[in-house]
Amino acid sequence: MASASLLKSSPVLDKSEWVKGQSLRQPSASVVRCLPSGPSSLTIRAGSYADELIKTAKTIASPGRGILAMDESNATCGKRLASIGLENTEANRQAYRTLLVSAPGLGQYISGAILFEETLYQSTVDGKKMVDVLVEQNIVPGIKVDKGLVPLAGSNDESWCQGLDGLASRTAAYYQQGARFAKWRTVVSIPNGPSALAVKEAAWGLARYAAISQDNGLVPIVEPEILLDGEHGIDRTFEVALKVWAEVFFYLAENNVMFEGILLKPSMVTPGAECKERATPQQVADYTLKLLQRRIPPSVPGIMFLSGGQSEVEATLNLNAMNQGPNPWHVSFSYARALQNTCLKTWGGRPENVKAAQETLLIRASANSLAQLGKYTGEGESEEAKKGMFVKGYVY
């Protein structure tokens, strides 16, 4: 477990910088540059949030902590609720999200929580704003800003992520509501190619989103998820990942994105879910760290891995293996199902099970905290936590 002294020594944003209506930091004064080349040569650049972005990214990438991804769309949240026999209503979504954000001591292990738009503006069942509850736990609120995947015309049945239209005004509003980082998820499918068109579209969309988010004070999480679907081996995943991340960083640079003010959410390098040859945690760590070393600049503060359908225990073991030696980045987690699965089943929609469900969430969060520090052993894990969660063609 992360010690209290360790957490206190981490760079932490002042809470007044997060909460709506409490001395929100304004952009610094504009920079005006005059060029002597004609009547329309006056260039005005918007004020910069650079210092705040760096501070936010470092806060989220603090030792022994990671991200709770609870930004499932209402439709996806409905599927989760249906798995325990609950109807997909706002009241039920509110009850479940309240359970998550109010788990006592969650901030010891969780530094950031990604929210869906409904949750960012929602209150708990007790009437407190979800954002305020997170801030009280020293957890930075974040927001999902993409508008989902749609078919990519001219590709091999691949997808592209929509949501750039109106993104500047939305991110500005989310900042005022208390969000300090953002998430945009696009996907790359190995069985479908991936085509050069799909990779370029994914990289360009992520870069435009990142630039717009930084302009409005939000640290962008850059997430080109390489889907687990397929029978391919780990070498093929590695090959595709090298190509994807090269393209992503090329376009991030083209769009003047500040690397010190972003976080990455990559897939671990694993075999396809239907591959007969499975990889050990050490193999996953070796391939994944080799990918990071070849493609990710050390100025990036945090690598927050997605679980992508791995079992809760598998995701934790793989993360732990990557933290057995020093890394130039904070190597941690941004898990949804790999933190919530057992918690959801323990709750079962029953008020009397809330405390037990929260304890289950804290067990998983604590395990991943230990894995971030390279100290996880895997002892005492339940059978439920060892079950795989891969769903072919999964839609988030």
Of the residues 117, 201, 223, 381, only one is catalytic, namely 223
CA distance 309 to 322: 18
Q: Two tokens at 45?
A: 């650049």
Backbone angles phi, psi at 359, to 5 degrees: -65, -35
Longest dimension (CA), the chain: 72
What is the spatial distance between Cα 265 and Cα 57, in angstroms, rounded to a whole number? Answer: 13
Return the H-helix or E-strand segment holding 209: helix 196-215
d(CA 114, CA 117): 10
Catalytic (active site) residue 223: yes
8 flagged as catalytic: no
Residue labelled with tokens 């093929």: 236
Distances (CA, A) of 228 to 121, 235, 283, 294, 381: 33, 13, 16, 22, 24
Q: Which one of 58, 129, 144, 265 is the catalytic residue?
A: 265
Q: What is the 3-state secondary structure (H, E, C) of 294-347?
A: HHCCCCCCEEEECCCCCCHHHHHHHHHHHCCCCCCCEEEEEECHHHHHHHHHHH
Catalytically active residues, by annotation: 223, 265
